[in-house]
């Protein structure tokens, strides 16, 4: 495994499907987490739904929210090329690239934290809240802690990272 250095930041020049999905998912995750912590613990099942949706996107490429956004006029940056079943939006699944791994890791971690919140202590809801905040930061700035960790560990991104302009001496 080749370790890298530097900061990985996804493009933020426009609101494409994948970026907008993280904004929506982060908002819903924070809402469900807050309701589970402050109102009724059963709201943690909303976190489960988001987690399972994230795992489904990583494994199959199919994203319900991505399809709604596509119908609303958003364009993708990680869509499969060529025709898809029913002319629906599917994320590329030909390799385990960085962005696809993020969906899987986030989904697994949310399932674990939600289970611990239900079975052990509601203090475990701090983790999904942190993930929700990280999703919003990612959507707004293009910076993601998990993406950078995977990038430093050698995962190859599909979204071209934004780079500072380099001038010749």
What DSSP assignment string belongs to 105-161?
A: HHHHHHHHHHHHHHHT-GGGGHHHHHHHHHHHHHHHHSB-HHHHHHHHTTPPPSSPP
Whole-angstrom Cα distance, residue 85 to residue 76? 16
pTM above 0.85, yes or no: yes
Whether 159 shows a pLDDT value over 90: the answer reads: no
Tokens 């998912």, located at residue: 25
pLDDT of residue 85: 85
Kindly state the average pLDDT of the residues 26-55: 96
120-143 pLDDT, tens per residue? 999 999 999 999 999 999 999 999
pLDDT of residue 165: 36
Whether 6 shows a pLDDT value over 50: the answer reads: yes
* Residues in the chain, total: 169
pLDDT of residue 4: 82
User: Which are the contacts of 137, defined by CB distance < 8 A and separation ≥ 6?
Assistant: 143, 144
Mean pLDDT of the chain: 91
How many of the other CB atoms lie within 10 Å of CB of 69? 22
Whether 11 shows a pLDDT value over 50: the answer reads: yes
Whether 58 shows a pLDDT value over 50: the answer reads: yes
User: Which are the contacts of 37, defined by CB distance < 8 A and separation ≥ 6?
Assistant: 122, 125, 129
How many of the other CB atoms lie within 10 Å of CB of 126? 14
Beta bridge partner(s), residue 9: 143
User: Which are the contacts of 158, defined by CB distance < 8 A and separation ≥ 6?
Assistant: 77, 78, 92, 97, 98, 99
Beta bridge partner(s), residue 62: 90
| pLDDT band for position 42 (cuts 50, 70, 90) | very high
Determine whether 154 is exposed, middle or buried from the number of CB atoms within 10 Å of its CB (0-12, 13-18, 19+): exposed
Whole-angstrom Cα distance, residue 148 to residue 145? 5
| pLDDT band for position 99 (cuts 50, 70, 90) | very high
Least confident of 25-34, 94-103, 120-129, 158-167: 158-167
């Amino acid at each position: 495994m080749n370790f890298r250095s530097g900061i990985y930041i996804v493009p933020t020049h426009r609101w494409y499907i994948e970026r907008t999905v993280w904004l929506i998912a982060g908002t819903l995750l924070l809402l469900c987490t807050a309701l589970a912590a402050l109102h009724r613990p059963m709201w943690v099942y909303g976190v489960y739904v988001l987690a399972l949706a994230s795992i489904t996107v990583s494994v199959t490429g199919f994203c319900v929210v991505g399809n709604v956004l596509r119908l609303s006029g958003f364009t993708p940056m990680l869509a499969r090329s060529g025709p898809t079943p029913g002319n629906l939006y599917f994320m590329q699944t030909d390799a385990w690239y960085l962005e696809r791994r993020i969906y899987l890791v986030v989904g697994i971690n949310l399932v674990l934290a939600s289970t611990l919140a239900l079975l052990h202590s509601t203090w475990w809801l701090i983790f999904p809240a942190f993930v929700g905040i990280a999703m919003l930061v990612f959507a707004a700035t293009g910076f993601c802690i998990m993406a950078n960790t995977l990038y430093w560990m050698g995962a190859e991104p599909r979204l071209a990272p934004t780079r500072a302009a380099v001038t010749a001496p």
